[in-house]
A and B are shown apart, each in its own frame.
Chain A
């Protein structure tokens, strides 16, 4: 078991920066997920931790040791790859024990570890099969088994569920979480799927353009994003961003257009009042915070009317899309709220959950 520290980590490929100076401390036993869009540097960061990429600048520390020049095999890490990377000519047992055999572990020790991992992952009956005889989910379990038998200091997962179908992905997500709860090994997990990140992580690291945008617990990122990028990336459907201005008309209000002006919550007026007259502001409001207005509004809710362009019934709710000043806005309404194309609907915005964003810098104010 060990902590992982990244200190001013930089990676450039022929003058093209991929990672632009990352500082991150991952305590022992923590499950950290690096999440971000393609090309944000998350996989490169993981590969630098694994030792599969040279480090341009900075340090990777595993335990108390700077491992920049330590080869992958001596870092005491295990990695699970997106395409499983099982050795096709070996049986499951041989795949799992390959690393231990190379390191000349005693045979009975190898067998004990393989059996233990097979029990944890429930793949005891598959040990004599070849990878081609396994389903996608079983292959992914074997890949995890190969990591577990080595009892490493750190687990590294590189988008391990991306090749699985949607149903299996959800199932394997739970499996991974269960395994981590059993073995409690420090884990760094890379994904582009924010749902995976939110459900698995103790802490989520949101990356963008080779930098860390925000580090925090899943709920912290959801409720208190520091930037428009994080606010838009975490949550599905994504947060709505509406150009707005602040106005003082008795109380501080966010004006979206001539018809809609929504009051700023009391506890934020002092913070936002200095921004009166500032151009290029955006109101950030998640779809779940724009709902169909009931007769009695909840505290913090403020009603307005909108004409629905598109309605997407999801069963337990309906996603209703409408426009404000030419910008598409998504609301989550009750299935029986009458959301349909062309329908005029009375909606309620929960302004206690609003975010005000500086459009120029992308920072949440």
Chain B
């Protein structure tokens, strides 16, 4: 009878009816699917840390009891206080921090000049070298750690210096992972800086070092921060190398330390393992939170001109 559309009909909500195949309809469908997959991924990736958080707030007795594993009946911070009172855990934390910070510094000291040279100072073989740098990143660490182990053993035999079983040895090993990737992403970033900028600097009287320090590093700061975050995360979270190269409790870094002291034979201190992992995830999380804007800018830079 009435030609007035129902209040809930799509015509009223969107103003004009969306025809099948129209832009509006396409966009809505694309958004639905985007939300579907985003929620799916968020649930998939956030479930483990939430489960870790829940478990870390339980006592060993409650973890062992047959109750709903997703609910805490008697929350306790005992796992956290035990860890923070444990000198060993704090040593792992300190070792990890020292290794990661030094690796970031070493990586930047090598990657920034290397990327600048490969991106800007065209020289014989620069393109091949750039590709070579990237290819080294493609070699997985599971393939590298045995030859590296042999090299360090050989160095130890040759020089008599005990290089194994020291956390500082990781400072030399992690750059094999971080330098190629950081160099590669910074080559891309430096290459996106207009060439006229270095020519203007050359005419203004800058040498290559001044050009790097006064122009390229400030302009490419988002890219450098992105690379820094990557280098820090890799060296903070790596598991295989510390397991292979360090054994003494006082030389372990967090990832290796947690599984070494909190898993005794077949006894798992689940509550403390979860608390230790969550505490261990805090520093990268804080760095991401503070530098996220720069990180995003770094990842997207060079995608468009200007």
Interface size of B by CB at 8 A reads 17
* Assembly CA distance A257 to B194 (angstroms): 55
A selection of 11 A-B contacts at a CB cut-off of 8 Å is: A71-B202, A72-B202, A79-B200, A89-B218, A89-B221, A98-B201, A98-B204, A99-B203, A99-B204, A103-B205, A150-B204
Q: Given A87-B197, A89-B218, A89-B219, A102 and B203 touching (CB < 8 A)?
A: no
Interface flag for B199 (CB, 8 Å): yes
Residues B196 and A73 in contact, CB atoms below 8 Å apart: no
* Binary interface encoding of chain B residues 174-202 relative to chain A, with 1 for a CB under 8 A from any of its CBs, else 0: 00000000000000000000101101111
* Assembly CA distance A98 to B197 (angstroms): 12
Give the interface SS of chain B, mostly helix, strand, loop or mixed.
helix
A77 neighbours in B (Cβ, 8 Å)? 203
Q: How far is the CB of B98 from chain A (nearest CB, A)?
A: 32
Interface flag for A106 (CB, 8 Å): no
* Assembly CA distance A83 to B215 (angstroms): 16
Interface flag for A52 (CB, 8 Å): yes
Residues B200 and A81 in contact, CB atoms below 8 Å apart: yes
Residues A50 and B203 in contact, CB atoms below 8 Å apart: yes
Interface flag for B126 (CB, 8 Å): no
Known: A72-B199, A87-B215. 16 other contacts (CB 8 A): A50-B199, A51-B202, A51-B203, A52-B202, A71-B202, A73-B206, A78-B203, A79-B200, A81-B196, A83-B194, A85-B194, A85-B199, A87-B200, A98-B204, A102-B205, A146-B204
Interface flag for B81 (CB, 8 Å): no
Q: How far is the CB of A51 from chain B (nearest CB, A)?
A: 8
Residues A102 and B204 in contact, CB atoms below 8 Å apart: yes
* Binary interface encoding of chain A residues 72-116 relative to chain B, with 1 for a CB under 8 A from any of its CBs, else 0: 110001110111011111000000001100110000000000000
Q: How far is the CB of A275 from chain B (nearest CB, A)?
A: 50
Residues B219 and A87 in contact, CB atoms below 8 Å apart: yes
Within 8 A of B (CB), among A100-137: 102-103
B300 neighbours in A (Cβ, 8 Å)? none
Q: How far is the CB of A365 from chain B (nearest CB, A)?
A: 43
Q: How far is the CB of A75 from chain B (nearest CB, A)?
A: 8
Give the interface SS of chain A, mostly helix, strand, loop or mixed.
loop
* Assembly CA distance A102 to B203 (angstroms): 11
Q: How far is the CB of B213 from chain A (nearest CB, A)?
A: 12
Question: Which listed residue, A52, A81, A99, A146, touches B205 by the CB 8 Å rule?
Answer: A99
Interface size of A by CB at 8 A reads 23
B196 neighbours in A (Cβ, 8 Å)? 81-83, 85
Question: Which listed residue, B197, B203, B210, B215, touches A72 by the CB 8 Å rule?
Answer: B203
* Assembly CA distance A171 to B167 (angstroms): 66
* Binary interface encoding of chain A residues 49-80 relative to chain B, with 1 for a CB under 8 A from any of its CBs, else 0: 01110000000000000000001110001110
By beta carbon, the residue of chain B nearest A158 is B196
A88 neighbours in B (Cβ, 8 Å)? 219
Residues A102 and B206 in contact, CB atoms below 8 Å apart: yes
Residues A73 and B200 in contact, CB atoms below 8 Å apart: no
* Binary interface encoding of chain A residues 178-204 relative to chain B, with 1 for a CB under 8 A from any of its CBs, else 0: 000000000000000000000000000
* Assembly CA distance A88 to B202 (angstroms): 16
A81 neighbours in B (Cβ, 8 Å)? 196, 199-200
A98 neighbours in B (Cβ, 8 Å)? 201, 204, 214
A146 neighbours in B (Cβ, 8 Å)? 200, 204
Q: How far is the CB of B202 from chain A (nearest CB, A)?
A: 5
B205 neighbours in A (Cβ, 8 Å)? 73, 99, 102-103
* Assembly CA distance A51 to B194 (angstroms): 18
B199 neighbours in A (Cβ, 8 Å)? 50, 52, 72, 79, 81, 85
By beta carbon, the residue of chain B nearest A104 is B205
* Assembly CA distance A265 to B204 (angstroms): 56
B200 neighbours in A (Cβ, 8 Å)? 79, 81, 85-87, 146
B202 neighbours in A (Cβ, 8 Å)? 51-52, 71-73
